[in-house]
Structures are given as structure tokens and as C-alpha cells.
Amino acid sequence: MTGELRGTRVSSVNHCREPTNHRDRPTLEVTLAYHQHSKHFPSRFAPSLGYMDWETQPNPFRRFEGARTFPLGFESVGPRPRYEPAFVPGQVNPAPLNLATVARFFCDALALSAWKEMSNARWPLRVNPSSGNLHPTEGYLISGPLPGLHDKPAVYHYAPLVHALELRVELSMEDWRAISAQLPKNALLIGFTSIHWRESWKYGERAFRYCHHDVGHAIACVSVAAAGLGWDTRLLEGVVDEDLATLLGVHLQTGIEAEHPDCLIVVFPQSGCLDVEMQRSFRLKTDLVAALRAANWMGRRNILSQDHHDWPAIDEVAAATEKCRPPSDDFWSSFSHPNDSLELHDSPLSLRSMIHQRRSAVGLDASTDITREAFYQILLKVMPGSNQIPFTSLPWHPCIDVLLFVHRVEGLSSGLYVLLRDPARRNVLRCAMEPSFLWRRPDGCPSSLPLFFLLEGDFRDAAQQTSCDQAIAADGAFAVAMLAEYRKPLEDFGSWFYRRLYWETGVIGQILYLEAEAAGIRGTGIGCFFDDLTHRVFGLEGDRFQVLYHFTMGVAVDDPRLRTLPPYQHLAVNSKGSEPINPIGSDLFFDSGT
């Protein structure tokens, strides 16, 4: 059966109704149960097929067939903006809003970065990382008239395969004024959705977690790409999921291949102003939502697979974690960490070069050290702050701290460490962890970096064993486990915050990826890990804290059989001079690296 006919899944617009029968459970109970059931253990992995069903492998590119397509141009990657200054607002002059800058923005945020080829196989890589290179995240643009693109306000889908915008619906000027009146001048909106099937095809029940890692990576990619143009970004969390689905046109989608709404981001010049009250109060007006429901949406979504495997647990947790109402007042945070030790000089590195050369390591050399200064610089960059891109995009109090397995850092003892991204959690975490831990400041640690040495020793085996016995976690300079303050924020804000915990880890992960490139090494995210075994290494019990993501960094070992090709050489023109050649064919497969 096709994706249009099989299955009963719908977009999440109906999930906010009250329970209607005895089988329905409170959303928090469903969310906690999903998280527990989707854990990996040394004795068993989370439910999945257990093999690769190549016959149902999804197409990694969503297209809306029949929609008007607007090709975007390319700007050569040059030496400016510089890498370090771009992470501080005000260091890059705001670029004008036009077709060329929108094209560069998408090229740096969500586009292809290369093709890889080995023997008769080839596969694309993208700027935004993805678990298993499966790319469940779809991007949308909502804007007013754009010089050189279109003379009407509209909603577009971004098609990374051809670096183009697909027109989904035109908005009236009245509707656009109702949106833009709540935003800074010259603002754009970016929307994200997830196609859960893209991940569950390979990873089964645990896939919902990976989808939201990827949303976090994409949020950071958008933030950093915008910063390179002198633009800023903020999540607009006042919009509920049902309205967001309508704005992006995915309210019409049904079946296992349906897109599920994730988030809405405003992009605006750094010289503009979006205060917290504006961010909190942004809404999609009732009249606009009604008009979009009645609108003539253009294009028909392509079918990704000819057959599917159902994972009801993903449907349940997607419904349980839907945001049905705007956040309460205590959700919005004014957290600020004075990261005075972070010095962002006008380094010779190019921001866009770092963005486009980013790769996931598939092997590390198990021998090379990194300097203590490089290690500290990387950790300083993952600290949140009111002036620290991309964390300025997230409006909630930081919930993720960083546990570290340090293997090979010059001048530092090997062992276990913890980085407190909120220093106020120190006493709570110290009481929750192994009582014998030292909690000592390491040598030469910058004054504003809340890093603590816990226990000396060779923990390479522990890093490998907790990461599903993957050697790459032991072979780098250090490995990371991202620890969430888990139970309390779900109880305080609601089950919908579960997704945000993963988004925060994805944002941190993206900075680790870029910092690895800047340091001349390489990193990779690790979604396969033994949850509770990781907790035991650090003496954690219960569910007050939970590890949500692993990561590792070191000197990469490249496979000499792999050939790297430019990202858009496939955009040849046919004899009529209009249609790009689609490179997808039977020889395409997807590697676990991105």
C-alpha cells in the first residue's frame, strides 16, 4: 500500500482533546512510559525490526509535486564572516533582506553539503546533521513579499535536494500584516516539522527521540546561519501545535508519512528588537488560521515508501507531547550566565567554511591528544547565556548539563568530569551523584567555566560500553553524555516539554560539531547508548535526571575508499532548460554518518 492509504495516523491537530475512554492515560504517564520503554539495555535494545528492510527505505527528500518552484542561487563560501565573532550579536553587520540573502541563509542552514560515493553507492550529506543520515526534519519559510522571489506573502517548503522553495500557499497582505505587526521589521518565519517514519524505518520505537535531536540540530543551524548574516533568531513558543500545523499546511496530511509540527522561529536583523513580552505574546490569529484551513494549498506530497511498519508507541508519545496551549508564565526564563572567560577574537577561520565542512566522524584514531586550552574553549562555547548564539534562541531555563569521559587532554587527568550549564544545580547534582566524587576545579580552568573533576581513572571502557559498545566513544579525546533535569520540568510545564529537552541537547550537539571543526578535529553524535548504565557510572538513580544524548570528539580516521563530490553538481539542465535532474536512484543508500 502507498503512504496515502495505509495507516490511520493523522497530524497532531486532534490530540488536544480530553481522554474519551478508559484506555487513555494522562499525558505525563504516557511520556514517562515511552521514555522508559525506549531505553537501550545491555540485555535488550529498544523495540525495532532488528534488521534493515531495504524494500521500504524512505526517500530522504520530501517534494510537493505540482507546486511552483523558485530555485535559489549560490554564493561562494568566502573568508567572511569570521567564525568566532559571528557568535556574538552585533559583530556582523545585518544583511538586507532579499532573494540573495534568503538563498544564502538556506544554503548555510539546511542545504546539501556534499555527496559521498563508494563503489556503486552514493548518498548526500547535509549542513544539518541527522541521526543515521535519515533527515526527518522538514523546513518551511513564511514571509512577506521578497524582492526577486515573489511579490506576495506566502508559505514555502524548502527542498534541499534542488536548493529551491516550493510555493505552498499565498497569503493576503492583510494576513501578513497581522503576522508581521507582532514582529521586528524585515522578519521571516521558519517552521520545522518531523516525519517520524523516516527515523522509525531504521530505529523503531526509539526514533521519536532521534527526530527531536534533529530538530535541535536544525534550530542551531538556523541560528548560526542567521548570525552569519547579522540576523537573530527566537523560538515563538506561544503558538500551539494545532495552529502551527495549519500555518505550515501539514494539517492536511494523514498516514504514517505525515509531517508533525515542531516549532516556529522568527528570524530578524540583530539591529531590530524582539523583547521577551513580544516573544511571549506572539500568536496566529483565529481569522488567519481559519483562512489557511480554507486555502487552496498547492502541490501534492510525494510518497516516501511503498510499504511501512507501524510503531504505535510513537503515535502515543507524539500525541502526549503535543503543545495544546501556550506556556505558563514561569516557562519564560531570563537566565544569564556571565561567560566572561570566553574570548571570541577575529580568528582566521571562516564561519561558512566551518558550516559546510562539518561532518560526523565514523572513526577516531584512539591516540591523539587535544590541548587543555582547546578543550576549555569547546566547553565555554556550550555554556548558555543571554548573548551566546545559538542558545539565545531558546526561551526556557537551561535544563541540560554535560557529563564528560576525558581520555586524552594534555594537562588534565583522565577521568570523569561534569560541566554545569546552570551552576545553581551543583548542590542538587552533587547529592544525586556518587558521594565519593571529588567535585574539584581542574587545573587552569577558566573562572567562568563551571567544570568539576569528579574521579580520576581510565574510563575508555566505560565510555565505550555505555555507548552501545561503540569503540568511537573510547577512541576520541573525550566523550560526552548530556544529562537532563528531567522529571521536574515535565511536571511543571507539561509533557510537551519532553521534546524541548531533546531540542536543547541537539543545539549543544551542533555547537560541539562546529567547535570540533574549528579545533581541527571531528565529532559525532551517538544516539545509541545504554541509558541506565550511563546513570550508574555517575551514581545516578531514579528519574529526576536522565541522559538523553551521547557525543564524542577526536581526530578522525577517514575511509580512503570514499570519494567526496560537490553538493549540487547534479543540478544539470535538461534539453528544455527547465527541470533539474533528480539523482535519486537504485544506487543510493544512507550511511550512519552525516
Contact (Cβ atoms closer than 8 angstroms) between residue 455 and residue 437? yes
Can you tell me the distance from the alpha carbon of 307 to that of 554, in angstroms, rounded to the nearest whole number? Answer: 40
Q: Element (H or E) spanning 523, and its range?
A: strand 522-526
Contact (Cβ atoms closer than 8 angstroms) between residue 144 and residue 267? no
What residue has cell string 546561519? Answer: 225
Q: Where are the alpha helices (DSSP H) in 56-195?
A: 99-109, 173-180
| Domain spanning 56-74+92-326, CATH class | alpha beta
The architecture of the domain spanning 351-554 is 3-Layer(aba) Sandwich (3.40)
pLDDT value of residue 336: 86
pLDDT along the chain (594 residues), means of 10: 31 45 73 98 96 95 98 95 94 96 98 94 96 97 96 98 98 96 97 98 98 98 98 98 98 97 98 90 96 96 97 98 96 90 86 97 96 97 91 96 98 98 98 98 97 98 98 98 98 98 98 97 98 98 98 95 92 43 32 42
The full set of domain ranges for the chain reads 56-74+92-326, 351-554
The crossing angle, in degrees rounded to 10, of helices 286-293 and 241-248 is 50
pLDDT value of residue 275: 85
Half-sphere exposure of 366 (CA within 13 A, CB side): 12
pLDDT value of residue 567: 96
Residue 70, SS3 per DSSP: strand
pLDDT value of residue 210: 98
Kindly report, residue by residue over 239-263, the tens digit of the pLDDT.
Answer: 999 999 999 999 999 999 999 999 9
Contact (Cβ atoms closer than 8 angstroms) between residue 261 and residue 12? yes
The crossing angle, in degrees rounded to 10, of helices 312-320 and 196-203 is 140
Q: Where are the alpha helices (DSSP H) in 172-227?
A: 173-180, 196-203, 207-227
pLDDT value of residue 385: 81
pLDDT value of residue 13: 39
pLDDT value of residue 461: 98
- Hey, which bits of 144-187 come out as E strands? 154-159, 164-170
Q: Element (H or E) spanning 508, and its range?
A: helix 497-518
Residue 87, SS3 per DSSP: helix
Strand order in the sheet with 112-118: 121-126, 112-118, 563-565
Closest CA to 411 of 382, 449, 460, 373: 373
Residue 210, SS3 per DSSP: helix
pLDDT value of residue 591: 33
pLDDT value of residue 594: 53
pLDDT value of residue 563: 93
Q: Which three cell numbers stand for residue 490?
A: 515535565
Tell me whether domains 56-74+92-326 and 351-554 share a fold: yes
